């Protein structure tokens, strides 16, 4: 029995090393502290089961399957650089483990320092909170999720690998005032706008990194009423926030050419400017401005209002975001 356990541990360690090499080849994990976190935190313990798409619908892979070949397939999948669907209800994805290379890029962009306090919105499997706990110490990490089943599962996974960050069941759009103030806020779910509650729970100079539209915006918080920043270059698709601040991207409207809508950069603009531009206006702007990349866009939050913009917060191209 011991040989089997040792063999499994060795196989998992090899798979983890291979994943780290793949993430490095992607261009992330330049910070040795994050490289150590991804090298040492066992992702497979956070995804004891997950779903893969097949011809017959969703197929569930799990660690406890009696067939050794199925268990081996589960382990290999746990260390692929891919997102994993971990909870599906009534055919709808409600929770997942994000693509590790994207997680690494986000964590490095968060630019944490020793002793800083981080709030994570969207507990997921607990894996991201474990990486943060490895880097900062669990006492500096708080993670929030609306779903009690998700938070309980994340708490169990975290404890199994020796981490005990604060895990809260609640609406992520409201933050976690009892644990504030925070130096960093990172969200792992898509939002339509920046919740104002987050800014009130940040220390001056804090960073907020959140999915918005189909991108990732990194904001510097000046004070409880002001924040501003630009989008990262990378695309990002996350499960939508559930709760009071949730909204889903628009479907492709009639009359919009499929090649345009299927262009990732156009869909980013089309969703970002949803409050202001119809499809043709968005398409004309996108073509006129040379099909702009995500990093040309930004977001400003100021005195109870917020807007997205192209190139310049005070320039001609700006669109209000929904109330946060």
Residue with tokens 């809508």: 261
How far is the C-alpha of 6 from the C-alpha of 253, rounded, in Å? 55
- What is the token pair recorded at 182? 């925070």
22's CB contacts (< 8 A; 6+ apart) are 81, 101
Cβ neighbours, 10 Å, residue 263: 16
How far is the C-alpha of 142 from the C-alpha of 221, rounded, in Å? 19
Contact 205, 220 (CB under 8 A): yes
Q: Is residue 282 within a helix (H) or strand (E), and if so which, with residue range?
A: helix 279-288
How far is the C-alpha of 309 from the C-alpha of 312, rounded, in Å? 6
Beta bridge partners of 141: 118
Residue of 39, 49, 53, 95 marked catalytic: 95
Is 95 among the residues known to form the active site? yes
How far is the C-alpha of 2 from the C-alpha of 254, rounded, in Å? 62
Residue ranges with strand state E in 213-294: 215-223, 226-231
232's CB contacts (< 8 A; 6+ apart) are 105, 109, 215, 216, 217, 218, 294, 295
Angle subtended at Cα 148 by Cα 143 and Cα 153, rounded to the nearest 5 degrees: 70
Contact 167, 129 (CB under 8 A): yes
Contact 134, 142 (CB under 8 A): no
- What is the token pair recorded at 168? 């809260």
Burial 107-127 (b: 16+ CB within 10 A, else e): bbebebeeebbbbbbbbbbbb
How far is the C-alpha of 26 from the C-alpha of 100, rounded, in Å? 10
Catalytic positions are 95
């Amino acid at each position: 029995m011991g040989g089997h356990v040792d063999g499994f541990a060795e196989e998992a360690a090899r798979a983890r090393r291979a994943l780290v090499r793949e993430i490095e080849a992607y261009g992330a994990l330049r910070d040795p502290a994050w490289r150590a976190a991804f090298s040492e935190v066992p992702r497979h313990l956070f995804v004891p089961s997950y779903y893969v798409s097949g011809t017959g619908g969703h197929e569930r892979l799990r660690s406890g399957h009696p067939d050794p070949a199925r268990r081996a397939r589960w382990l290999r999948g746990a260390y692929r650089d891919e997102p994993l669907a971990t909870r599906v209800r009534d055919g709808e994805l409600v929770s997942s483990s994000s693509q590790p290379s994207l997680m690494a890029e986000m964590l490095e962009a968060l630019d944490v320092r020793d002793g800083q306090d981080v709030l994570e919105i969207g507990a997921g499997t607990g894996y991201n909170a474990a990486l943060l706990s490895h880097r900062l110490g669990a006492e500096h990490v708080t993670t929030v999720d609306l779903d009690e089943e998700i938070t309980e599962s994340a708490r169990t996974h975290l404890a199994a690998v020796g981490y005990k960050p604060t895990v809260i069941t609640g609406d992520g759009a409201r933050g976690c005032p009892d644990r504030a103030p925070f130096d960093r806020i990172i969200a792992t779910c898509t939002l339509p706008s920046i919740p104002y509650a987050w800014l009130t729970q940040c220390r001056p100079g804090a960073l907020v990194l959140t999915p918005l539209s189909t991108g990732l915006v990194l904001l510097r918080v000046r004070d409880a009423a002001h924040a501003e920043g630009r989008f990262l270059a990378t695309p990002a698709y996350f499960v939508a926030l559930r709760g009071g601040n949730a909204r889903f991207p628009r479907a492709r409207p009639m009359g919009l050419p499929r090649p345009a809508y299927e262009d990732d950069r156009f869909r980013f603009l089309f969703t970002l400017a949803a409050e202001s531009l119809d499809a043709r206006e968005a398409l004309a702007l996108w073509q006129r401005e040379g099909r702009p990349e995500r990093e040309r866009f930004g977001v400003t939050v100021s005195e109870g209002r917020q807007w997205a913009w192209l190139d310049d917060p005070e320039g001609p191209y700006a669109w209000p975001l929904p109330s946060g």
